[in-house]
Chain A
Amino acid sequence: MEKNIRVDYIARVEGQGELTIKVVDGTPETVQFGIFEPPKFFEAFLVGRDFREIHELTSRICGICPVPHQIAALRAVEKAVGIEVDEYTRQLRRLMNFGSHLQSHVLNLYLLAAPDYLGYESAISLARDNPELLKKGLKLKKLGNDIIEVVGGRAVHPVSAVVGGFTHTPSRAKLEDLKDRLREARRDSEETVRLFSELDLPDFERNEEQIALTRGGEYPINEGTLKSTGGLEAGEDEYRRYIKEVQVDYSWAKHSIVEGRGSFMVGPLPRVNLNYRVLSDGAREAAEAAGFKPVVHRPFEALLARAIEVLNAVEQSILIIEDLPKGKAVREDAFKPRSGFGCAVVEAPRGLLYHAYKVNDKGLVEEADIVTPTAMNARNIEEDLKGYLPTIADLREEEMILRCEMLVRAYDPCISCSVHVHRA
């Protein structure tokens, strides 16, 4: 028997993607996660732009994760022109990115993913029966956005992060206010972990390679060493040596593979698996209580890992504010051009994000290269679907479609990000 599954426009994910699946007698023959989001050619038009504006421009790759794009661009450019930032800047950038992970994760968990498991078409419909649940999500999401705003001057596309530091220093009063709200948010975050540990997440398992940053005793978010469940260990400068890209003819996003092996997963599940020991105390306890035992290879449990990271982001943010050293503001034009090459890997909410730039002695970009987490995950999503489909082949077609969408949503793809990858 032949089943054809077609989703023209996948709902409750960011951006424009489609699914084309053909299953014959329970065996998947075609599985395509197509991305028809129009490409924006960032790598092309960044050429000739000034090194001090690259993070501002690349912020516009994505409205959900502008913060990691800014930080990846800033760190890559700073390496290229030889700038080292102080500990104050480093910690403020971590705080801003934890805020970014918090708002993005909560958006996925409460507004995009949860309705599937609770039997609703959207969080808006869910809110009619259970307004408190949506309110809780919106409150946590607002906290993430407010962290970004206090540190970066604006929640979507922050403005005060610049090459070499920040143009203003958030006041102690505002940071203290955030800290109070973060402490209060612990309870809602713990409940989030509980909620997702109690949902009926499919136990489909596939032994894929998972890659995340690691960094000694620190939960890595803006810098670290690449590490995988398959034995990969490499510095960020070696990213391009181990990860290759291939183009497929049905998608504007290129696919990433580990050289000589195959597809891989990035995101909350690899991060929690590979950094379990350095989760905040509360997050690790909540993970234990939820029965999360690394290494987890069940892709639907990315939702649980994401919930654990909500609590982790809240607690890490408290620690950063408590220990924040003193620092000074810098001007957006404080640093002079120098030629060089620099690359950086950061953790965006959806996983690794790679930026690399070659800058000339006038400070203008000569080459730009960006690989985003959703582009990295694209091939792995297809491989997961291929493994998952035989287990649901007996379901009604409508239910199969929903299940496939749920698997895609567990990855929280950010499709706008995925469509501009440079030459392999």
Chain B
Amino acid sequence: MRDKLKIAVVKMTGCAGCQMEFLRLEEEFMDLLEKVDIEYFVMAKRENHPGPYDLVFIEGSVSTPRELEELRELRRRSEILVAFGDCACTGCIPSILNWVPPIVSSRVYEDFTAIHSRKESFQRIIPLAEFVEVDVHLRGCPPHKDTILEVLKAGLLGVKPWLRLHPVCVECKLKENGCLLTSEHRPCMGPVTAAGCGAICPSVGRICEGCYGPMSDANPESLARVFMEECGLSKDEVVRKFRKYAGAARAFLKVAGGG
């Protein structure tokens, strides 16, 4: 067990929501500082140190060569590399871009080449594990703050964090919610989605949208069939549902309409 954990919090192509969830450890923050040295966290600190780190949280996906270089460097300097949130794990919502023809994205900036020449972009959203070995995939958009604490505790203890890869349905049943899929025939993503959120959507009367990405042995083809046969969804609607938070994940790639 370590006395203190040297950590870094790094942002790549993402929305800072995962860093915000980290800073939502409001009640735990003062205690956290006893056990964790935050060596690098540009959103929170002016003095940032280059490492090496015991543990690095990387929020966001890779979408530029600059980020790819930084990612490889962080891998060299960090013992435990955490893909922090869906963008880092699966590409999340921005990964929908990967199915959009470049001509459409060029409409966002009328003079794309001017910027392009100076700050290259892959114009693709790529999860970290495509490039480096990832030690911990911390899922969620954003990952619940309790799961962040779990990763920090595991880092201190030198053990693997216990992250739930069973489906959201398990948490939903524990909350004694009625099943929106089987009893109301609404297209709930719960059966293929990793738990960790506490089944928050079904608990507020809304179908799970799948924001924790695929569970450990998801069967998306089967759920897609149920969506079409029992919930009345069209093929396009099914594709949209899977091409959302984790369309780039291997488990969903077929149903999400990738190659």
Contacts and interface: CB of A to CB of B under 8 A. Distances in A.
A250 B111 CA distance: 12
Nearest to A368: B108
Interface string B2-21: 00000000011111111111
A145 B19 CA distance: 14
14 contacts: A14-B16, A15-B11, A41-B100, A43-B108, A45-B105, A50-B237, A63-B16, A122-B44, A131-B30, A135-B30, A159-B209, A160-B204, A333-B186, A416-B16
Contact of A159 (B42, B92, B93, B206): B206
A107 interface: yes
A252 interface: yes
A8 to B, nearest CB: 10
A84 B109 CA distance: 33
A16 B12 CA distance: 9
Q: What are the 7 closest A-B residue pairs judged by CB atoms, nearest first? A: A63-B17, A122-B45, A168-B204, A44-B105, A142-B26, A63-B16, A60-B93
Interface stretch (B112-120, B168-176, B222-230): B112-120
Contacts of A50: 237, 240
Contact of B17 (A16, A62, A333): A62
Interface string A133-168: 011001101100100000001111101101000011
Interface stretch (A32-40, A264-272, A286-294, A386-394): A32-40
Contact of A122 (B47, B105, B115, B142): B47
B92 A60 contact: yes
Contact of A156 (B38, B44, B96, B142): B142
A94 interface: no
A168 B17 CA distance: 23
A107 B15 contact: no
Given A127-B30, A156-B21, A45 B206 contact: no
B23 interface: yes
B24 A155 contact: yes
B149 interface: no
Nearest to B64: A38
Chain B, interface SS category: loop
A66 interface: yes
A64 B16 contact: yes
Interface in A399-415: 405, 414
A152 to B, nearest CB: 8
Contact of A63 (B19, B123, B209): B19
Interface in A154-213: 154-157, 159-160, 162, 167-168
B87 to A, nearest CB: 8
B43 A331 contact: no
A236 interface: no
A107 B200 CA distance: 25
Contacts of A134: 29-30
A160 B114 contact: no
B43 A14 contact: yes
B33 interface: yes
A254 to B, nearest CB: 8
Given A56-B209, A167-B205, 9 more contacts: A39-B121, A45-B96, A53-B209, A139-B26, A142-B26, A159-B201, A247-B110, A247-B111, A414-B16
A168 B45 contact: no
Contact of B97 (A44, A61, A64, A127): A44
Contacts of A156: 17, 20-21, 24, 142
Interface residues of A, number: 73
A47 interface: yes
A9 B197 CA distance: 33
Give the residue among B12, B24, B108, B211 with the most A Cβ atoms within 10 A: B108
Contacts of B119: 36, 252
A50 B96 CA distance: 13
A127 B33 contact: yes
Contacts of B197: 154
Nearest to A135: B30
B48 interface: yes
A interface: dominant SS: loop
Interface of A: 9, 11-16, 36, 38-45, 47, 49-50, 53, 56-57, 60-64, 66, 107, 111-112, 115, 121-124, 127, 131, 134-135, 138-139, 141-142, 145, 153-157, 159-160, 162, 167-168, 247, 249-252, 254, 329, 331-333, 405, 414, 416, 420-424
A249 B48 CA distance: 29
Interface in B89-136: 92-94, 96-97, 99-100, 104-105, 107-111, 114-115, 118-119, 121, 123, 125
B71 interface: no
Nearest to B111: A247
Contact of B121 (A38, A44, A121, A247): A38
Contacts of B81: none
Contacts of B186: 333
A250 B14 CA distance: 20
Contacts of A154: 197, 200
A167 B108 contact: no
Contacts of B104: 44-45, 47
Contacts of A47: 100, 104
Interface in B42-84: 42-48, 63-64, 66-67
Given A123-B44, A145-B24, A250-B118, A60 B141 contact: yes
B207 interface: yes
A329 B97 contact: no
Contacts of B44: 12, 111-112, 122-124
B69 to A, nearest CB: 13
Nearest to B184: A331
Contacts of A252: 115, 119
A332 B206 contact: yes
* Residue in B12, B63, B107 whose Cβ sees the most chain A Cβ within 10 Å: B107
Contacts of A43: 107-108
Contacts of A414: 16
Contacts of A424: 110
A42 to B, nearest CB: 8
A167 B29 CA distance: 32
Contact of B141 (A112, A115, A157): A157
Given A63-B15, A63-B18, A247 B109 contact: yes
